[in-house]
Amino acid sequence: MDDTAGAKAGRSTGRGVAVVTGAGSGIGRSVARALAEAGWTVALAGRRREALEETAAGLPAGRALPVPTDVTSPERVAALFATVLDRFGRVDLLFNNAGTFAGGGTPVEELSYETWRTAVDTNLTGAFLCAQAAFRAMREQDPRGGRIINNGSISAHVPRPHSIAYTATKHAMTGLTKSLSLEGRPYRIACGQIDIGNAATEMTARMRTGILQADGTLAAEPVMDAADVAATVVHMAALPLEANVQFATVMATTMPYIGRG
């Protein structure tokens, strides 16, 4: 059996077909690998083919398909899902993970319009475009339904200093999650959100050396292994569609979140 046939038969032999955005590094890479190892067939979406191929390296044959994608482009997102549907026949899971910390560390009065737009286009519009495409596929496929898991953030609840663009988009992600949950009910489409605090990735490297706190001081913050985030996403993804983790918060136990400020 070739890889394509094996993937299309994956509903009976594995978990199903997942799309992971931002799969070339960090949390996306950890989640994509964990899903593949748990039996999912995974489409790896991200800007850089080389990074996606690194993510796919060592995974079971036929379980990973790198698809270079720009989530801010409606045409590229449409092409991503067309490729997945053509190759695998369906979409059972979307992990809406692609994001940027554009503008992080910049006071509101100094933030440029271009940086604001970069954050909004990637974190919010990109998430919407991917969710819309996944929703359409899940609504029409047979058997109908699927699951969307949005990557929120601790910043979906409380801001860090000088992070207005990132914080605003992550608050908006919560609204996206709630709306998708509501609109997905008639079609067996579940939507949940994982809010992550200080997973050890390139994006959080500076937290280990010192980052601005709400009282104006600099302090190093604890981090956790990204594999712990991946394990949570795999658990959420494995639930039957009759059950949903609506919101989950996974964070380094002693990071300054409870009591922040």
Question: Which residues are marked as active site?
Answer: 166
Contact criterion met (CB below 8 Å) for 201 and 27: yes
Q: What tokens were used for 127?
A: 């998430």
Q: Pick left, alpha or beta for residue 100 (phi over 0 → left; psi -120 to 50 → alpha; otherwise beta).
A: beta
